[in-house]
Amino acid sequence: MAAYVCTRSFINKFKDSIRFIPRRYRVKTKWAATRPKFPATELALHNFDTSYGIQLRDLWPSIRVAMLCEQKYGALINSFSSVPNAIKDLEAQGCKDFISIDCSRNEVHQPSQDYTTSHRDSTELEPASLQPSISPDIKCLVFPQGDISRFKPARPDSSGILGYYLLDAASVLPVLALDVQPGHTVLDLCAAPGGKTLALLQTHSVNYLWVNDLSGSRTMRLHRTLQSYLPKEFLDESKIHITSTDGRHLGITEEKSFDRVLVDVPCTTDRHSAMVEENNIFKRSRTKERQKLPLLQTQLLLAGIQATRRGGYVVYSTCSLSQLQNECVVQQAISLAQQELGITVQVQDLRWFAERFSDTFHFAPQLNVGELVLPHLCANFGPIYMCKLHRMN
């Protein structure tokens, strides 16, 4: 006779060891979970091909190639460092100071007669007689045209202060255009990571510098940059004031406080967007952020205009070729300043500036004549856009 076996215990153990998943809850791993179907760099290039192809026309193919080439850097000499023979060592490698070369080539500028163009509404050009000089204290060395050699890491002096700062050489141009004079108070509204801030300090003309950036992490990076390139006595709060606040509010809280204001706004950073996936603003998750950029840029520029004293200057710059982020932003800010704040702003003619540095940089011709004075600039440097505004009242 067969022995009796209780099957209930086996069934219970079987239920505990195996779990049945209903069909409707079964999910197959998809590529989209780990890899986007369209990388952000491809989305950026498609966007550029569509918009810049119309905007720049026949120039766009060559500009596109330059944008996709390896970026070329310059070495901003740190005059606060006592590293021996820093400039001579770089010159021995074939580097040249593009600022002194281009300025000596055109030391006395005679404006051309055809520089007068018609401008719409309140956007008028500053008379040529008011064009500033170029600061001789800023030195930025670059390798010759076509040479994309890499710079060696900067060496510290006996105090630990580094001898030079590596940046895109085109980033120095807005600082040169700002024309800081001895005793000036200066606001760098969107300062991180600190390259333009260091360039401003190389003029040795700034009496008081306020540097600001909304991002806390970028502001910490700015702190580290200044600590690596400046002696401790220059980091005193009475000389350099560092904040991490919304720059749009400084126009009200610091109204008419500064002789010079640099507004280097957040933008699509065209070269980075076309080359690098990390932190790319063309990611689908950042679409709304990208669409709101022109509004943010207009508000920041308007705050910069408010913070400028009567007779002071504002330089607005981006590293984008987009007209929506460049010409349109400046036009809108000028209009709002006049209509809502009663502030009259005049655009300065910077074509002499573009001519002076044409041996180092390739400037694209102005497409919308009369809107802005310095159009796009592209090569292995940049791209960069800037406009200089003069507050009249």
Mark the binding-site residues, compressed into ranges.
190-196, 213, 246, 264
CA distance 153 to 162: 9
How far apart (Å, rounded) are the C-alpha atoms in residues 79 and 91? 16
CA distance 393 to 382: 33
Angle between helix 327-341 and 293-307 (nearest 10): 50
Q: Contact 326/372 with Cβ under 8 angstroms? A: yes
DSSP secondary structure of 169-228: GGGGHHHHHH---TTEEEEETT-TT-HHHHHHHTTS-EEEEEEE-S-HHHHHHHHHHHHH
Angstrom CA distances, 318 to 171, 199, 200, 359, stand at 10, 17, 17, 22
Q: Give the annotated binding-site residues for S-adenosyl-L-methionine.
A: 190-196, 213, 246, 264
Asked if 270 contacts 319 with a C-beta cutoff of 8 angstroms, the reply is yes
Active-site residue, selected from the candidate residues 267, 319, 378, 387: 319
Q: Is 387 a catalytic residue?
A: no
CA 112 to chain centre: 30
Residue given tokens 């041996």 in the structure block = 359
In contact, 270 and 324? CB cutoff 8 Å: no
Residues classed as catalytic: 319
